Structure 1
Amino acid sequence: MRKAALHNLGCKVNSYETEAMQEILEKKGYEIVSFHDEADVYIINTCSVTNMADRKSRQMIHRARRQNPQAVIVAAGCYVQALTDAGEVDDNIDIVIGNNKKKDLAEILEAYFCEQKAAPRTEVIDINHTAEYEELHLTKTAEHTRAYLKVQDGCNQFCTYCIIPYARGRVRSRAKAEVVQEVSALAANGYQEVVLTGIHLSSYGLDLKGENESLLSLIQAVHEVEGIERIRLGSLEPRIITEEFAETISQMRKICPHFHLSLQSGCNATLRRMNRRYTAEEYYEKCQLLRKYFQNPAITTDVIVGFPGETQEEFEESLAFVDKVDFYETHIFKYSRRRGTKAADMEHQVPEQQKAARSAVMLELNEEKQRKYEEKWLGKTVEVLFEETIVRDNKTYQVGHTKEYLKVAVESEKSWENQRKEVEIVNLSQIIH
């Protein structure tokens, strides 16, 4: 029996694909071991969203080679897709598997072993000219209560800073019936919460033929699955938040009022250079729509600081906008120059020192806003789906999340895993990060 170890880098879509590849190998008789152990095959599902992601991908490939020089090193995903396109594949990689080829992992490995490791294999398609959605399936996940479900791939937006449309291709959506079938299987295995994810989730259905093919119609179909008690949505584009969308989902009891709306900048001039296709004013209207239909929703976002051409005045405009919106959480990224994107060739690149200084200011605001949002829950009773047991200072706690994704701890020796309980928030120490 061959031993295989898998390591995931990057987004929740990647996580889903990594777990699906693990299930494929398990069905073929592989023994799955920790990435820290010696294995016959190491699979690294790579990421390329930033330069740091590229570096981590390289580090994990090299670490696998050091752990067992005789092992087969498989590198899959966005980083190697881009590397192959540029003709720069790392010599430490035995098999390159691009996006849309991960479903073939077992067959690719078998062919490589049959050839007695004769030469490196490259299994990469022209991702920018395919309309095929890659069918991968999960019946279980590493988490025991929440399942991330990939329903969409690719992106048509071409934001000037982003390499992902080139590594993931155009929008491709999973058939609604396939999604419902997988959600039903997960529910049958005890999962109470599903998170719908995609590379550009808001574009779900754009490529499907049919009048009722949209993210909203997909959510409605998943909502009907018995056993699922919570539906959480991955990152959304602001433009999908219409009056109809917000009102309709607010009437679904399973929807989690936790919305991650990508912002990137609160300055209109910067948004135009980013090709973000909305204004700060339009974005604010979308947040107000959510607050109109949901009571105290958790609205989170991403912000890039130090984008090419961002002046101090533009940064301060973005900072003031983030302050105005009152996010629960802001994920802050220093602009990462990506070869092959329009922004990489823009004038007035911001020095790293300035990026770091702006990031620190934005982080300080984030901590203030996070605390302010959490204080609103003092004295309130919330439903918590418990997920794990932790021990701190010789005390045992049961830990889970509210629908708003507040992470709550309650002292108890008895495991409450996969149970939903009503909990009163009596002090902020119950909310952990």
Structure 2
Amino acid sequence: MVRVYRYDYIEYVRGMKFTVLTFGCQMNVHDSDWLIRAMESRGWTAVSESEADIFIINTCSVRDKPEQKVYSVLGRLAPLCKKAGSFVAVGGCVAQQIGEGFLEKFPHVRLVFGSDGIAQAPQALEELAKDHKKTLVLNDFVAAYPEREGGLAQPNQDLLPPGIGTIPGQAFVNIMQGCDNFCAYCIVPYTRGRQKSRSSEAVVNECKSLVKAGVREITLLGQNVNSFGIDKKGTDSSFAELLYKVSAIDGLERIRFTTSHPKDLAPEVIKAFGELPNLCPSLHLPVQSGSDNILKKMGRKYDRARYLGIVEGLRKVCPDIALTTDIIVGFPGETDEDFEQTMNMMELVRYESSFSFKYSDRPGVAAVKMQPKVPEDVAQSRLARLQERQKSITRESLEALTGREMIVLLERKSKRQEIGGVSWRGKDPGGRVINVHFAGLDEEQKLGGKLVKVKITEAKNHSLIGVKMGEIW
């Protein structure tokens, strides 16, 4: 059946089947969720990969490995695009980086869109579904944040393909796009463009619509949320002011935000952790290195003392705050002493978890030309040692929570089930994964998005186990 929609009055075959494959950060997950909702609102149907006609890959190029995965996926999808009308769309950071190169190398790719081009992607997908010979590249950066039209406040969970979609009761909200920091190792300013903040009114209105639709927890997203409002065009609020505005939304029970750059973490934001009851006591605060020498080479614009002062301030106003971080080992010029400073930082802060990686050259960044490079075997040895220590700290931190009572926002059924009921997994305000067994519960009963008080009974390597202490609401 052919229908006409208001979007430039493009005609298309209702029921076009598509799937979205997502790599990378939470911003990519959010972008994919929005794209799914936007296409569903136009009559398209989100399905699994084996059923799809159109394949959309949302890519990441922060490190080399995710980029290489994209080429592998494109090779796998080629046989599936032989039927008439089938094609691949490549979006995200690698799309911004490679551009028309995808069209030249992969004939089954007909749409390439960068981070600012996603707002135009739904219309472009419709055009390509109608005209099988057309190709499009949407890689121009725009001066202001590209507000997106279309889509619903909440997607239809039953229509989302496995592994993709908003977790019941939770949602991401972009507050900005791009980055102005140009850290020596980072490709983000080149693939996502310069920083562009949204208006606080647009952010608050989106959050209100999500809460009205049943969302209980919102995560505010940006490459550097702490610099919200201080970009070239600016906005009407600082990040701290935005937090207080969002916190005041009636019915919003939890707020999180990511990612934070320590150089821009204002005292007012630290203060908010002690004043806003729905601001979760958890913060991802990337340190990258514990060495002042390496931090300077990275262009991070803070030192150990500044970082540890932030940690002290956070724990003063919010003693139970759970801190996580990013760490790069093997940055050009990193000595054994520099690495020991990073290990010392881990002992001082005791992160509950960390994302740690070996440095890898990314095209166009300043660190590509920095010498000397750390030998691969040395970087690997340092990474293994750091990750082993992190495992121990994580386990110790989780064991210290045994016997505590937490409020858990349930997400989905646990992978491991017990006899005589159903086990569900969720997260506490600190962002820790907690598995809860519900004796006698019907397997078909849906608890996603529900809250329950839980007593922690056991700690695992990366999660907790608890028992229900009261009613589910």
Q: How far has the Cα of 1:211 moved from its partner?
A: 8.0
1:131 partner amino acid:
A
1:402 maps to what in 2?
A: 428
Match for residue 78 of structure 2 among 62, 65, 70: 65
* Residue 309 (structure 1) shift: 0.9
Q: Tell me the equivalent position of 1:418.
A: 449
**Structure 1 counterpart SS, 2:449:** coil
Q: Provide the TM-score with structure 1 as the length reference.
A: 0.93
CA distance in 1 between counterparts of 2:343 and 2:103 reads 39
Residue 177 to residue 292, structure 1, CA distance change in 2 (3 Å):
same
Tell me the TM-score normalised to structure 2 length. Answer: 0.86
**2-side partners of 1:291 and 1:58: how far apart?**
44
Partner of 2:404: 380
1:340 CA displacement: 0.9
Alpha-carbon offset, residue 394 of structure 1: 3.4
Deviation at 1:38, TM superposition (A): 3.4
Judge conservation of contact 2:417–2:423 (CA < 8 Å) in 1.
no
* Pair 1:139 & 2:153 matched: yes
> Could you report, residue by residue, the CA deviation over 1:353-398 in whole angstroms, capped at 9, with x for unpaired residues?
1111111100011111112221221222111112222252534312
Counterpart of 1:302 in structure 2: which amino acid? D
CA deviation after TM superposition for structure 1 residue 106, in Å: 2.6
Check the 8 A contact 1:19/1:138 in 2, yes or no: no
Indicate whether 1:177 and 2:191 are aligned. Answer: no
- Tell me: CA distance 1:284–1:65, structure 2 relative to 1, closer, same or farther (3 Å): same
The CA deviation at 1:51 is: 0.4
**1:103: which partner in 2?**
119
Identity score, percent: 30
Contact 2:22 2:59 in 1 (8 A): yes
Q: What is the distance in 2 between the residues matched to 1:367 and 1:89?
A: 44
Q: Which residue number in structure 2 is paired with residue 7 of structure 1?
A: 21
Q: Would you say the 8 A contact 1:75–1:95 is kept in 2?
A: yes
User: Root-mean-square deviation (CA), in Å?
Assistant: 2.0
Q: Secondary structure at the match of 2:186?
A: coil
Instruction: Look up the equivalent residue of 1:100 and give its one-letter code.
Output: D
- The 3 A distance-change label for structure 1 pair 91 and 103 is same
Residue deviations 1:177-203 (CA, integer Å, cap 9, x gap): 111111111112211000111122122
Output the CA distance in 1 between the equivalents of 2:94 and 2:122: 21
The aligned residue for residue 12 of structure 2 is none
Deviation at 1:109, TM superposition (A): 2.4
Amino acid paired to 2:47: V
Query: Would the alpha carbon gap of residues 83 and 361 (structure 1) be closer, same or farther in structure 2, given more than 3 Å must change?
Result: same
Q: Verify the 8 A CA contact 1:76 1:97 in the aligned structure 2.
A: yes
**Contact 2:100/2:112 (8 A) holds in 1:** no
Q: Return the match for 1:151 from 166, 172, 175.
A: 175
In the aligned structure 2, how far is the partner of 1:394 from the partner of 1:427? 15
Structure 1 unaligned regions, length at least 5: none
Give 2:243's aligned residue: 219
Deviations 1:388-429 (A, max 9, x none): 222525343122111001111121143543222222223225
Q: How many residues get paired?
A: 427
Output the amino acid matched with 2:456.
I
- Residue 144 of structure 1 and its aligned partner are, at CA, apart by 0.5
CA distance in 1, matches of 2:35, 2:425: 29
Moved more, 156-165 or 350-359: 350-359
Q: 1:391 to 1:109 in 2, by over 3 A?
A: closer
5 Å matches for 1:14-413? Answer: 14-35=28-49, 37-70=50-83, 71-84=86-99, 90-92=105-107, 93-114=109-130, 116-125=131-140, 127=141, 130-136=142-148, 139-140=153-154, 141-207=165-231, 212-390=236-414, 392=416, 394-395=418-419, 396-413=422-439
**CA deviation vs aligned residue, 1:10-32 (integer Å, no higher than 9, x gap):** 11111111111111211111111
Report how far residue 66 of structure 1 moved.
2.6
Letter in 2 for 1:227: G
**Contact 2:177-2:222 at 8 Å conserved across structures:** yes
Task: Give the gaps of 5 or more residues in structure 2.
Answer: 1-14, 155-164, 466-473
C-alpha displacement of 1:86: 7.7
In the TM superposition, structure 1's runs of 4+ consecutive aligned residues that sit over 4 Å from their partners are 85-89, 208-212
Give the letter aligned to residue 449 of structure 2. Answer: N
Q: Retained in 2: the 8 A contact 1:304–1:334? A: yes
Amino acid at match of 1:424: K
Instruction: Report the Cα distance in structure 2 between the residues aligned to 1:242 and 1:196, rounded to whole angstroms.
Output: 16
Deviation at 1:249, TM superposition (A): 3.4
Structure 2 letter corresponding to 1:272: K
CA contact (8 A) 1:39 1:68 kept: no
Q: Tell me, what secondary structure is at the counterpart of 1:377?
A: coil
